[in-house]
């Protein structure tokens, strides 16, 4: 829940697409929807609030439009999807295709799409089928699979058994493809603010 709906989904490393192995898909969906429905939306200054509004009403309208467009194209909205001014309900969408905007574009809203997969190669192919590649999370009890998938996924960072939104200042932070240029982090900030000068001396 922290990963997708933190800051109303307006974090660049929020998980937008979730791929779930088919043998646990139904169980995962039931638990996810129950948790999302239990989220309390409202004033972010209220400590009991789980999720506040989006940055502007225009941003919320755009996200709402993408939800309606996906539904018109055959997707199923399991919960959420409604908007009141800048407040968009936490939304879970299934039965999506990779051509839908809620999947292939950066939604930057409290929307998550969930897709099932059967084979490891299949999910890697789908995960890489995007022009973006910032962070990803891989959940598995098989360390060999974790390393194999992490190596194959085209992102700037991969967390194993942790959500993709996790970030610390001392780690290299950045993406590949159209997800930015270079890395953030203490080392990289120092390098960016340093003018490197070469000095060559020939001894006489």
At 29-70, the pLDDT tens digits run: 999 999 999 999 999 999 999 999 999 999 999 999 999 999
What superfamily in CATH does domain 119-193 come from?
Aldehyde Dehydrogenase; Chain A, domain 2 (3.40.309.10)
Which CATH number is 1-118's, of 3.30.110.70, 3.50.50.60, 3.40.50.10800, 3.40.309.10?
A: 3.40.309.10
Q: Is the pLDDT of residue 112 over 70?
A: yes
At 148-176, the pLDDT tens digits run: 999 999 999 999 999 888 888 788 889 99
Rounded Cα–Cα distance for residues 21 and 152 (Å): 17
Measured between alpha carbons, how far is residue 152 from residues 105, 125, 162, 167 in Å? 21, 9, 18, 21
Rounded Cα–Cα distance for residues 105 and 57 (Å): 19
Mean pLDDT, rounded, for 3-9: 87
Q: What is the pLDDT of residue 1?
A: 60
**Residue 132, beta-bridge partner list:** 177
Q: Does residue 186 contact residue 169 with C-beta atoms inside 8 Å?
A: yes
Q: Where in the chain is the domain with CATH 3.40.309.10?
A: 1-118, 119-193
Q: What is the pTM of this model?
A: 0.89
Measured between alpha carbons, how far is residue 71 from residues 8, 24, 76, 95, 131 in Å? 21, 24, 6, 9, 23
């Amino acid at each position: 829940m922290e990963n997708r709906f933190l800051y109303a989904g307006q974090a660049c490393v929020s998980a937008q697409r979730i791929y779930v192995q088919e043998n646990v898909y139904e169980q995962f969906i039931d638990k996810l929807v129950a948790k999302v429905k239990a989220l309390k939306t409202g004033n972010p200054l209220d400590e009991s609030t789980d999720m506040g509004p989006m940055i502007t009403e225009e941003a919320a309208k755009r996200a709402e439009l993408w939800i309606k467009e996906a539904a018109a194209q055959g997707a199923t909205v399991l919960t959420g999807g409604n908007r009141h001014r800048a407040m968009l309900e936490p939304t879970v969408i299934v039965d999506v295709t990779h051509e839908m905007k809620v999947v292939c574009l950066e939604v930057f809203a409290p929307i998550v799409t969930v897709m099932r997969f059967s084979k490891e190669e299949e999910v890697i192919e789908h995960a890489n089928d995007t022009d973006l590649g910032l962070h990803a999370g891989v959940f598995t009890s098989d360390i060999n699979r974790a390393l194999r998938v992490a190596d194959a996924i085209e992102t700037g960072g991969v967390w194993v058994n942790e959500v993709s939104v996790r970030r610390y200042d001392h780690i290299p932070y950045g993406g590949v493809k159209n997800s930015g240029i270079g890395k953030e982090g203490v080392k990289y900030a120092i390098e960016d603010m340093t003018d490197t000068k070469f000095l060559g001396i020939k001894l006489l």
